[in-house]
Amino acid sequence: MSTNKTGFQAARWNEALISELSEEGARGIVPPAVDAEIAAAVGDVAASLPPGARRAAPPDLPEVTQHRVLRHFLRLSQMCMGFDVTTDMMGTCTMKYSPKAHEHIARGAKLADLHPLQGVDSLQGLLELMYRFNRIMCEISGMDEFTFQPASGAQGIYTNACLIRAYHESRGDLGKRDEIITTSFSHPADAATPAVAGFKVITLMPGEMGFAGVDALKAAISDRTAGLMLTNPEDTGQYNPNIRQFVDLVHEAGGLCAYDQANGNPLLGVVRAGDTGFDMCQFNLHKTFSAPHGSLGMGCAAVGVKDFLRKFLPRPLVAEDGSGGYRLDYDQGEGIDKIRAFIGNVHAVLKAYSWVMSLGAEGLRAVAETAVLNNNYMLTKMRGMRGVTIPWPANNYPKLEQVRYSFEQMFAETGVTSHDVIDRMVDFGVQHCMPSHVPMLVPEPFTVEPGESLTVAEMDQMLAALQAISDEAYSDAEKAQGGPYNASTTRIDGDVPEDPDCWAFTYRGYQRKKPMWTSENRRKIERHDGGY
Amino acid sequence: MSDDNGFIHPYVPNAAPVPLRRLLKEIGVDNVTDLYVSVPEELQVKGLLNLPDALPSEHDLRRHVEAIIGKNLSCRDHLNFCGAGCWQHYVPAICDEITGRGEFLTAYGGGTYSDHGKNQAMFEFQSLIGELVGLEVVGTPSYDMGAAVNSAVTMACRITARRGVLLSGAVSGDMRSQISGFTKMVADVDTIALDAASGLIDLDDLKSKLTSDIGAVYFENPNYFGLIESRGAEIAEIVHAAGALLVVGVDPLSLGVLAAPGDYGADIVCGQIQPLGIHMYGGGGCAGFIASRDEERFVSEYPMILMSIAPGAEEGDFGFAWSTMQRTSYDKRHDSEDYAGTTQWLWGIGAAVYLSLMGPRGMEEVASGILQRTRYAAERINELKGISVAHLDSAFFKEFIIDFADSGKSVAEVNAALLVNGIFGGKDLSGEFPEFGQSALYCVTEIHGKKDIDRLVDSLAEVLS
Amino acid sequence: MTFRLGLIVNPIAGMGGTVGLKGSDTPEIVARARELGAEPQAPERAGQALGAIVAANVALDLFAAPGEMGEAEARAAGFTPKVIGSPVEGDTVAEDSVRAAQAMAELPVDLILFAGGDGTARDLVRAIGGQVPVVGIPAGVKMHSAVYATNPRAAARMVLRYMQGGISIRELEVMDIDEAAFREGAVSAKLYGYLKVPYLPGLVQGTKAGGVSRDRTALAGIAARIAEAMEPGRLYILGPGTTMRAVADKIGVEKTLLGVDLVRDGERIATDAGERDILAALDGTATIAVTPIGGQGHFFGRGNQQISAQIISRVGLEHITVAATMEKIASLRDNLLHVDTGDRALDARFSGWRRVITGYHTDTVCRVST
């Protein structure tokens, strides 16, 4: 049926839900046996629990034999396009190779089987690792101290917002300074987390160059300005060259500046947050620093601050103990409340540390420059693709790290949308690109971020897939709009997850609500055609 | 990288001279530095960063890093009795197999058609947790338990349009800190006093604090000290009568035996994921979840991604999609009351594997066995001179408090001495709960056999003598 | 259930344009246009859109207004339409359109596809308001309304996408241009009403791409912010539009959607006020709260001329609140706001950057162009 060039067909196991694989009496694993003496000494403790505490009936979990569980989840893994198996240029995600060596080190007992509270004397290796990486991140960013407590970029940015809040609170200014300025193309978390931290948010819209101008910032600054939180380069791949002026203007007004380095890959060894004047920053270790993305998590954020903000960092901090070892400083002082349990996703820290140690300073620079090189190669080729336009034509600068393209012209001429392209491209054996975060200011957006890991052949593979789809859009639009054809599942009824009468988030819910899916009485769903 | 030698490294193929030159030519520039024209000169680093010498050889790198972490003592070769929010449980081999699969490990934002397997695994996580807690809606994983509690109590406040939150006094200091920080601007948090005798929440104090301003009441079951609450239904009634919502925090590993909070009236349940087949990773294994009934007024307040099942094009086909993203900060941006992002989905997948392996019998046996081992340990320890176990006559799961008051020794001293014997002692509570004096929170799980517990008892005896 | 599509064609729309006449509403203009050799535009445009729908080979039930108001075009394209609403001898096209639309809304159809100009859009507002979503095939000369697709093919695409699902609906403004003034070369627009239009960025005229911020939350936030800031004794001049209606809802008063209402101390003291009424009420402190027209970006001078230059001057620029959802801000051409108060000097004082309220605790800044 399909004529895609690669002949790719995703695994389609039609693997049933695990709850449907249940067979009475099957066991997947037997828990450790209770010593006979213990059982004799204490008896059946469960049976003597007060009635209100005891479960009425066993949980309705499936009973599945061991190898079938393995097979089930292995099959599911085969229907998943991780970076390990295919080219992934998902914009804003900074997909890159997560070296296996680092995985293997992290899975050893000396990291995987550590308890965070087992006593500092027994965690010297861990603390040393964190301390060393702290120093490395300071050198990379121009900051003076790092914490790795936040478990994701969004949580790292939230930490920045809390630090800004603590700073102004310590000066008695919090009532007066209640506004954070951000931009429309910074990550949604740059607007969301200051709002959660209690700030008013002023969002600057892009000018004709695709980024906010200095005059827009000046209009937004006032004596209520608490700070600036933004991403640069932004999600469109455009670097705002006025960034230093932005920072200076906010400082003059008495605000602090937080640099969301989610798009920091092209700047490693090239530009430092500290040199740009920022007071604090955050990096995604699971993006830029190669820790694996983990199917949307094992995230970790490295949040760095200048010296004067060190006292506000959440506790504990890793410090030298004065006799050649390390300790955890739990002294709360002016530290902000804890952002996350314990000291952070240390496995991500280990992988990030290993990655930097493998590359060194020259390698880090090569990573940044190659990411930009690859990005502009993709740009050069995609520019010529029929139906593709680059927004903000006034901005002629090469783009860093990623490019937000537009399929507006293709849509006007053929009716094929960027979502159609996204759905169709998986037929070519590549992970799909992301359209855009909200607000989707660019019509029919399509954001491509090759990163530095891919070979020329892999980039050409992606280009060939997109070219094939473009050709198809102009010759057989209906075909282009009907994908995917060779994916792990057939096209779904997208209204069901949006309809309160139909959605189901558990097997229980699914069994109860499934009849509604085919009912005549289904309501018409007003959907938002977002980026997902 | 502007000289013709480029840079050779296994992680950056196009930095090598041949592809570098080819790409430069295709783009039409002479140097990579030409691509940075949008970045002002004065902001750019001159030369290279001052970083440690590179170790491009995998062998050399491994030696280096493993030498550093080799200085750790692990819970594999030491006997660990520390819990308090992160616990040592057995991680089945198949859990490690699946969480180690490259496809899952390195997937990210793929959707309905590219990451069907990840989506199904996540839906199954939601489903199996739902069975344990007795509720039909479960969200994708939160950053940790504290984040789950934060999301849950603020949801409850939004749903009831009230500002007040009552927290059980039996939650960890760390969690109180997380909650304080997050709710600062939107809720008024107060603590429910504990009954000194039982260690559980004082119902009279709860009733006295349940004004019409209270939106959420939170307690954990088992609580931070391991104590089991059996008055769940009664508490739910009291809370609901005041127009508030009941939020209960659980250790799902207990729910093979303990009552499902959804069954006794909890409106929102929060829980830990780490006990379900996830290594501790020094705290990195932590993750949380929230769950509720399937009502629009609840679902619309979930801050995280929700994975819904949906029918496919042919009979019997199904797929999955992220539902109603307009609930989340991805869409709401500055209108957000909570925030979402990359969390800990891989651990959710691991938990799905764990629950699939364990089944109802496994979950019942592991919980039942932990109850027995904990009781055995507590009773033996209580017999030692100079120390006592708090609330020995109450029901507790996995953890209990040892009071060292009569021993004349501090917890720190005891733990240092235990360490010499290859044992990690329980968490020192003296700073967190000064009213308990020199007390420690000890944790016994299914990995502890009689020999291990006896060894602890003997070591304690030795240390205390 | 098979999708039900309604079809209404205004056969005389656009006739004036081809022979240099603005508009073709009145019988005189139509006759003049025919004399000059004008041909009907709308049927051909409708045919293009229908052809694209037929080519997609989707299952739908087509309900057409009778004769050359849809039935003929549908048959020509290859459909077998059900005819709805019988024509009444001597009625104008406008009255027949209204009747057909009402009948379609009653069935109900899922979507009405219509070909015409601004006049046809106004007919639909009168007939059905927001009862059924509509997609417009542009065929008239006065295309001020943002409810029209960019071209017939785009209109067809919109219909097909709507059938597939996964598409939002939003309320878009329908403007009422003063015909006489317009033919004299002056532009004077009033806000006539709203239609519900399926929304896909790039397809609808005058809108760039839209943000997908949750409109309800944003509107509620804007409303709460403005309502909570209201001072006792102060006069509030609330402009037209759904944003100001949300403010009124929050305070608990009724609000004319298309007119200016006056509020003081939580009470509505004037309904659909004209300039004189506003001036009469202006005897102390006052605030004007307005929202820009989506796409065009005017917050004075289109649809709210009652708030005259004199009133604006007396209230003072610093007491003017401009509010809009981020989605509307994103729809503005070049992110610009506009004013056209009729007083050039006053307009000039607006130029520069202005804060715009976009939510309960969120703002943006926009440049005002004159």
Place of tokens 């203009």: C29
**Could you tell me which residue, C155 or C88, shows the higher pLDDT?**
C155
Contact list, A321 vs chain B (CB under 8 Å): none
The confidence score (pLDDT) of residue C25 equals 62
pLDDT at A532: 38
Residue C201, pLDDT > 90, answer no
C-alpha distances in Å from residue B187, one per residue of B167, B190, B214, B215, B337: 12, 10, 10, 9, 12
What pLDDT is stored for residue C172 in this prediction? 80
At C56 the pLDDT is: 80
Q: What is the pLDDT of residue C209?
A: 22
**Residue among C153, C212, C354 minimizing CB distance to A528:** C212
In this predicted model, what pLDDT tens digit does every residue of B249-273 receive, in sequence order? Answer: 999 999 999 999 999 999 999 999 9
pLDDT by residue (tens digit) across A393-407? 999 899 999 999 999
Structure tokens, B36 = 């940075």
Q: What percent of chain A has pLDDT over 90?
A: 90
A202 touches chain C (CB under 8 A): yes
* Between B204 and C195, residue with greater pLDDT: B204
CA distance B179 to chain C (A): 22
Average the pLDDT over each of A214-223, A237-246, C36-45 and give the range with the smallest value.
C36-45
* Mean pLDDT of all residues in C21-41: 71
Q: According to the model, what pLDDT value does residue A527 have?
A: 54
Q: Is B185 on the interface with C (CB under 8 A)?
A: no
Question: Measured between CB atoms, does C362 come within 8 Å of chain B?
Answer: yes
- Say whether residue C351 is in contact with chain A using an 8 A CB cutoff: no
Q: What backbone phi and psi angles, to 5 degrees, belong to B252?
A: -60, -20
**Into which CATH architecture does domain B93-354 fall?**
3-Layer(aba) Sandwich (3.40)
C partners (3+ CB pairs within 8 A) are: A, B
- A88-132 per-position pLDDT tens digit: 999 999 999 999 999 999 999 999 999 999 999 999 999 999 999
Residues of A in contact with C166 (CB under 8 A): 419, 494-495, 527, 529
pLDDT class of C204 with cuts at 50, 70, 90: very low
ipTM score? 0.97
**pLDDT at C211 > cutoff 90:** no
Mean pLDDT of chain A: 94
Give the CA dihedral A308, A313, A315, A319, nearest 10 degrees. Answer: -50
CA atoms within 13 A on the CB side of B308: 27
- Tens digit of each residue's pLDDT (9 = 90 or more) over A56-83: 999 999 999 999 999 999 999 999 999 9
Averaged pLDDT for residues B293-303: 94
Q: Is A201 exposed, middle or buried (0-12, 13-18, 19+ CB in 10 A)?
A: buried
Cβ C214–B326 below 8 Å, yes or no? yes
Q: Return the pLDDT at A5.
A: 58
Pick C189 or C155 by higher pLDDT: C155
Contact A219 C201 (CB under 8 A): no
Q: Nearest CA to A339 among C352, C94, B142?
A: B142
Write the DSSP symbol of residue B258: B
Q: Is the peptide bond before A150 cis (omega within 30 degrees of 0)?
A: no
Domain boundaries, chain A: 144-356, 503-528
Structural domain boundaries in chain C: 3-198, 216-369
| Confidence at A522, pLDDT banded by 50, 70, 90 | confident
- Put simply, whether A91 touches C (Cβ < 8 Å) is no
Which chain B residues contact residue C324 at CB under 8 A?
none
The answer to whether A445 faces chain C, any CB pair under 8 Å, is: yes
- What topology is assigned to A144-356 in CATH? Aspartate Aminotransferase; domain 2 (3.40.640)
For residue C120, name the pLDDT band (cuts at 50, 70, 90): confident
- The answer to whether residue C110 neighbours chain A at the CB level (below 8 Å) is yes
What's the mean pLDDT in C192-219? 54
Give contacts of C 220-259 with A, CB under 8 A.
none
pLDDT of A524: 67
Distance from CA of A527 to the nearest CA of C (A): 5
Find out whether C161 and C155 touch, Cβ atoms under 8 Å.
no
CB within 8 Å: A415 and C153: yes
Question: Angle at which helices A346-383 and B58-69 pack, to 10 degrees?
Answer: 150
Q: Tell me how long chain C is.
A: 370
Q: Which residue of C has its CA nearest to A202?
A: C363
DSSP output for A270-301: TB-TTTTT-SEEEEETTTTT----TTT----E
- Residue A405 half-sphere exposure toward CB, CA atoms < 13 A: 32
- Please indicate if any CB of chain A lies within 8 Å of the CB of C336: no
Question: pTM, whole model, 2 decimals?
Answer: 0.90
- Whether C46 contacts C9, CB under 8 Å: yes
Residues 26..65 of C with a Cβ closer than 8 Å to A: which?
Answer: 56
Q: What is the pLDDT of residue C182?
A: 53
- Give the residue among A508, A151, A218 at the shortest CA–CA distance from B143: A151
Mark which residues 133-162 of C lie under 8 Å from A by CB. 150, 153-154, 156-157, 160-161
- Which residues in chain C touch residue A208, judged by CB atoms under 8 angstroms apart? 334
Question: C209 at the B interface (CB within 8 A)?
Answer: no
| Reported confidence tier of residue A439, pLDDT bands at 50, 70, 90 | confident
- Superfamily of B79-89+360-464 according to CATH: Aspartate Aminotransferase, domain 1 (3.90.1150.10)
What is the spatial distance between Cα A17 and Cα B117, in angstroms, rounded to a whole number? 11
Reply yes or no on whether the pLDDT at C1 is more than 80.
no
Which among B326, B331, B335 is the nearest to C359, CB-wise?
A: B335
Interchain contact A299–C (C-beta under 8 A): no
Q: Which residue of C has its CA nearest to B326?
A: C214
| B332 in contact with C, Cβ within 8 Å | yes
For residue B227, pLDDT beyond 50: yes
Say yes or no for a CB contact (<8 Å) between A441 and C352.
Answer: no
- Identify the bridge partners of residue B396 per DSSP, sorted by sequence position: B227
Chain CA centroid to CA C335, Å = 19
Quote the minimal CA–CA distance from A219 to chain C in Å. 6
Q: Does residue C83 register a pLDDT over 90? A: yes
What integer pLDDT is reported at residue C174 of this predicted model? 82
pLDDT for B371 beyond 90: yes
Give me the CATH topology for the region C3-198.
Rossmann fold (3.40.50)
The pLDDT score that the predictor gives to residue C40 is: 76
Say whether A13 sits in a helix, a strand or coil: coil
pLDDT tens digits, one per residue of A456-503: 999 999 999 999 999 999 999 889 999 999 999 999 998 899 889 999
Q: Give contacts of C168 with chain A, Cβ < 8 Å.
A: 526-529
Categorize the per-residue pLDDT at C218 as very low, low, confident or very high, splitting at 50, 70 and 90. Answer: confident
From A316-325, A374-383, B58-67, C146-155, the region with the lowest mean pLDDT? C146-155
CB neighbours (10 Å) of residue A109? Answer: 15
* Phi, then psi, of B458 in degrees rounded to 5: -65, -40
State pLDDT tens for residues B13-28. 999 999 999 999 999 9
Tell me, yes or no, if C362 comes closer than 8 A to chain A by beta carbon: yes
Tell me whether residues B49 and A269 touch, CB distance under 8 A: yes
Q: Would the pLDDT of C16 be above 80?
A: no
Mean of per-residue pLDDT scores for chain C:
83
Block residue for tokens 């030159």: B21
Does the CB of B34 have a partner CB in chain A at under 8 Å?
Answer: yes
Percent of chain C with pLDDT over 90: 44
pLDDT band (50, 70, 90) for residue C177: low
- Mind listing the pLDDT tens digit for each residue in A173-196? 999 999 999 999 999 999 999 999
Instruction: Evaluate whether B251 touches B270 at the Cβ level (below 8 Å).
Output: no
| CB < 8 Å from A in window 188-227 of B | none
In percent, the amount of chain A with pLDDT more than 70 equals: 97
Give the pLDDT band (50/70/90) at residue C295: confident
pLDDT tens digits for range A140-155: 999 999 999 999 999 9
Tell me which residues of chain B, numbers 67 to 86, contact chain A at a CB-CB cutoff of 8 Å.
68-78, 80, 82, 84-86
